[in-house]
Chains A and B, each alone.
Chain A
Amino acid sequence: MDGTADITNDAASLYRFVESIQTFCELQRGFPAYLEGSKVFLSLIEELSRSTRKYATDFPAGLPNNSDDYRVYRQELRTLRYGWYYVHRFVKPIADADTLHLPGPLINSMVRRLRSVKSFEESKLAILHIRELNYLQVIASGVRDAITQISSFVGSPASFPSDLGLIGIPYSQAKSVFLNSLIAHEIGHFVFEKRQLKDVLAPKIHAILNSTFAPVKDVVLKISDSRRIPTALADWSEELFCDLFAVRFIGPCYSYAFIEIFDLTNYLSLDGGLDKNAAALAVEFSYSHPAYLYRIQKQVEMLKSIDWWRHIRTSKSTCQKILENSESLGADYFSFPFGADLQKYFIECLNQVLTEISALIEDSLGGLDTGVAEYSRLSRTVKDYLLEGVVPSTIRDPDSGKRTAPETVTVLNSAYQLYLDDLPELIGRIEGQKATSVEHRARWTENLENWTLKALDDLTLMSAKTVV
């Protein structure tokens, strides 16, 4: 065979594939508009595409003339192609997520809060639209590694900025505020990655596993399990970090959104208790994620430890009931994908890892104000404004009587709490509207979210650090 001709064809195939992706990255002047992070990402891919096409053009000229070297050389093309397949997943979803199709004010508010943390002052987020209605399984960290490696192979001057995070949101949720509180979890992944907390946790997880399982090492551990357990525990740890980070970062609205997206209130029985039959699968850990109700239970512990709990415990909402019910679940209630006889050892491991995680969250946030004190002072007033249909960008402080601008955490949590507890009161003030009507509830929830979004937008404009 003529190796040169064949490899030219293969190189041309990669060239065309990369070129087809590049067309989605070419930013038109002014329209559509993108978040700063999305613009950075699309420009990066455009540059990477250019370099890859140059690489593909030059590739046939480097063809070795002995068979051993040939197959090693040729395989690089396949690796690059697969690298680009991976990048391909992100480009169109980011190009689709322009500012008209995003809850921009909410994202900007969260970025503004993140930027107030030391080492995160320059943070930017690129947002991508995903098909699944799930924020929690978007794995974007791998793309950083893939892009970095592809750049080095093709000699691209572009590099993935360390302060750029990628976050996926469902394509349909541009207007949603409450559900998009889940973005805080994804910010947790960004923080986890940027601070290289996997490397920080690894030796601790290693020590915890070996000491906890030492008494049973020859009795119950299968070899196949023992290989898988460290990765499972590391993955659970990262997810728990992100959950608890999110609660610490924006408060209970994250837990409410978590409960809503997974529809966990389905596990409540008529008397408001937990229907343990219905919830049987919600206490099972998978290889990659902790059980839903375990995650909620740990969020409750965080809410208590940072003093949020006393401000929300009187809520009569079903979300609150899930929080309370999960709190009372015993450790032996949870199950793991490695056999029932190992259950107590995993619980022991997780207890120890959670201590480390809590410390890492505090260390990562460097004393960032929880926002509880301001919420305690201003939430009633914010709710009163919203009940009157007034955007609470600036409100009158009930203590001082002066006009003040509430922080993101106060606005988000007050609005969410109103949605859960007081929506009938809001609807009752509107002529011809009934709280018992699903349609009316949906409409007034949307209005409430719009007012909240407007307040967050105003707060961003008023701040010194405008993100868009």
Chain B
Amino acid sequence: MNENPDSRSRYLALALASRKALRSLSDYVRQGTIDAQFESMVGEVVESLKATRDANNLFGPTPKESPFTNYEQVVTLDEVESDLKNQNIDIVEKLSKPLSLHVDEKSRRLDAADAIRFFYALENRALHHYSSQIGSREP
């Protein structure tokens, strides 16, 4: 995966976007607020994951400015999705449902748990791929 000089910045963009989502989820759990940027970001993730499954789409998502659409990012999304699937979590299904406006923090925490797990794992894996490239030798 190292051939493209853009790879590093794409992994970092994925990690940063995941962190942004985690911040929004933290605000949701603590304050019950849901920001529009988070909803838009989740929509991009779902769209990207669905595109890779769509039998009528030969190629999966096409790269856009979104940090979930380039090859390195799509592969990383797939890796995390598979991990969660092994834990019986269908993340596309979970993310496709909007967060509910529960009044108590405990319910909100429960509602957001899988999304937090997903974005945490995504950030972690993207950072790992990014750091692997830092350690690689230059010619």
A405 to chain B, nearest CB (A): 40
- Taking CB as reference atom, which chain B residue is nearest A234? B63
B75 touches A227 (CB 8 A): yes
A86 touches B20 (CB 8 A): no
A214 touches B5 (CB 8 A): no
- Taking CB as reference atom, which chain B residue is nearest A69? B26
Residues in B with CB closer than 8 Å to A374 are none
B52 touches A227 (CB 8 A): yes
Flag the segment in A32-40, A70-78, A91-99, A290-298 that touches B.
A70-78
Contact with A along B57-78 (1 / 0, CB 8 A): 1111111110101111011000
Specify which of B20, B61, B64 is in contact with A198 (CB 8 Å cutoff): B64
A137 touches B5 (CB 8 A): yes
Residues in B with CB closer than 8 Å to A287 are 3-4
Specify which of B12, B23, B64, B74 is in contact with A82 (CB 8 Å cutoff): B12
A54 within 8 A of B: no
A39-63 residues at the B interface, CB under 8 angstroms: none
A146 touches B127 (CB 8 A): no
- Taking CB as reference atom, which chain A residue is nearest B120? A72
A221 within 8 A of B: yes
Specify which of B18, B62, B127 is in contact with A205 (CB 8 Å cutoff): B62
Instruction: Count chain A CB atoms within 10 A of each CB in B65, B72, B120, B131 and give the residue with the most.
Output: B65
A226 to chain B, nearest CB (A): 5
A300 to chain B, nearest CB (A): 26
Contact with A along B98-125 (1 / 0, CB 8 A): 0000000000000000001000100110
Closest 10 CB pairs between A and B? Answer: A142-B9, A231-B71, A149-B16, A234-B63, A206-B62, A288-B4, A202-B64, A202-B62, A230-B62, A79-B19
Q: Which residues of A line the B interface, CB within 8 A?
A: 71-72, 75-76, 78-79, 82-83, 85-86, 137, 139, 141-143, 145-146, 149-150, 152-153, 196, 198-199, 202-203, 205-206, 209-210, 213-214, 217, 221, 226-232, 234-235, 286-288
Q: Which residues of B line the A interface, CB within 8 A?
A: 3-6, 8-10, 12-13, 15-20, 22-23, 26, 52, 57-65, 67, 69-72, 74-75, 116, 120, 123-124, 127, 130-131, 134
